[in-house]
Chains A and B, each alone.
Chain A
C-alpha cells in the first residue's frame, strides 16, 4: 500500500470510523485504496458495514473518525463532531440504490434530466438529447414518457443507472442493486453493469451474487465487523481465500448456492 504516496489512487479511505449512537459501531477503522481502473466488489456478512461504507463514500453519512480522499484531494473528513464533505467532489460520484429510488411523480425522461439541469445548468433540449441516447442504449428507448410505476423492477433499476450516468460520474457505487429484483430480471441489470465495466467505468459495489462478483470484479474486498478482513483479486478472495474468516464465509455462501 504505497500508492497513496504517488497520489494516483482514485479513492483512499483511511481509518474510517462510523457508528450510530455510542453503542453501535459499524465501521471500526476501515482502510481501502481504490485505483482508477479498479472495479471493487465488497462482500461480507450482513451488518458488516458494506452498505454503510458505500453510503459514506457517497457522502450520505456522518462519520466519527478518519477520512476519504478522492483523486488525491480531501473529500470527507471527521472534524470533531462534524463531518466535512466537499460537495464538488461528491458531484463526481454516482450511486444506485437497492430500491430504485426513482422520482415517482416524474416521467423517465424527467427523472434523467432533472439533475443535469439543476446541477450543471444544462439546457432542457441538450439534456433530453443525451437522455434519449442513453435510454436507447439501455433498451428503454420507448419508455421516455412512461412513469416509474409503469416499469418492471429491472427496467426501473436500469433507469436509475442511466440517471446516475447522466452526470458523467468518475466513480459509480452500486448498493445491492439486484437484491430487490425478481430472479428473471437480475440478468438485464447485471448486463448493463458488465457493459459499463467493459468500458472502464470505475465502480465499487456491494452484492450477494457471487457469480456476478466474479465476473465484474477486478478486486474483491471481504468486509466483516467493520474492518477489511481480506482484499485481493477475485480468484484469491472468492476462489482461494487466505484468511480463515473469508474462507468460512465463502464456503457458506457457495454451499447454499450449490
Chain B
C-alpha cells in the first residue's frame, strides 16, 4: 500500500468542499435558530404551572435527550414518512430532527438559567412595585438569557459537529462530500484529515469565545 501522502490533490476539490461546507453551515444555522426558539418556548412552558403541558413537554425533552441523534435522524427520515404518508426530502427530515434535538437540549439550558435568577431578584422587583410584565421582561428574562448565553453557544457548536450525521441520510454536507471524494480518490488520509481540519478551524475559535463569555458573565453576576 502506497502511504506517500499528497495533500496537493485537495486543490482539485476546493469547490466541492466549499459547497459541502455551505450546506453544513446553512443547515446548522437554520436548526440553531429554529431549535433555540423552540427550546426557549419549551423551557418557559416547562417552568409554568400547567401540569399537562409540563408532562407532555417533559416526555419530548427526555426522549430526545435520551436517544442517539443518529436514531432520531433515521427515524424521521425513514419512519415518519411511512406514518404520515408523505415524502420528506433529506433536507427537511434533517432540519426536523436537528431542530427537535436542539430544542430539547436548549430548553433545559433555559430552564436552568430561569431558575438561577434568584428569589432575591424577584423580591427586589416586588419591593419596587414593578408590574408582572416588567418583572419578567426587564429583570428575569434578560438575566436568564445572559446566563444561558455560554451554554447556548456550546449547544450550537455541538450541533455544528453533530450535523455531520446528516451525511448518513444522503445529504450533501461537508462530511458527505468528504466521504465521496475520499472513496473516489482512494485518499482517505488526506481528504478526511482536511474535513476534520475544516470542522476544527470553525469550532475551535467558537469554543474559545464560550470560555471568554463565561468569564465575563461570571464577573458580572458575582455582584
Show the binding face of A for B, using Cβ within 8 Å: 55, 58-60, 87, 90-91, 93-95, 97, 99-105, 114-115, 118-119, 147-149, 151, 156, 163-164, 167
Q: CB-CB < 8 A to A59: which residues of B?
A: 126
- The segment from B139-147, B181-189, B202-210 that touches chain A is B139-147
The answer to whether B129 touches A87, judged by C-beta atoms less than 8 angstroms apart, is: yes
Interface of B is mostly: helix
The answer to whether A167 touches B223, judged by C-beta atoms less than 8 angstroms apart, is: no
Cα separation A167 to B121 with both chains bound (whole Å): 18
Q: CB-CB < 8 A to B129: which residues of A?
A: 87, 90-91, 115, 119, 167
Among residues of A, the one whose C-beta sits closest to the C-beta of B141 is A105
Q: CB-CB < 8 A to B219: which residues of A?
A: 149
Q: How many A-B contacts are there with CB distance less than 8 Å? A: 70
Among B123, B126, B134, B223, find the residue whose CB has the most chain A CB atoms closer than 10 A.
B223
Q: How many residues of B contact A (CB 8 A)?
A: 21
The answer to whether B223 touches A149, judged by C-beta atoms less than 8 angstroms apart, is: yes
- 18 CB contacts below 8 A, A to B, read A59-B126, A90-B129, A91-B129, A94-B127, A95-B127, A97-B120, A103-B121, A104-B143, A104-B221, A114-B139, A115-B128, A115-B129, A118-B130, A118-B131, A119-B131, A148-B223, A167-B128, A167-B129
The answer to whether B220 touches A119, judged by C-beta atoms less than 8 angstroms apart, is: no
Q: CB-CB < 8 A to B142: which residues of A?
A: 105
Cα separation A93 to B129 with both chains bound (whole Å): 9
B142-158 CB mask vs A (1 if < 8 Å, else 0) is 11001000000000000
Verify if B138 is at the interface (C-beta below 8 Å from A): yes
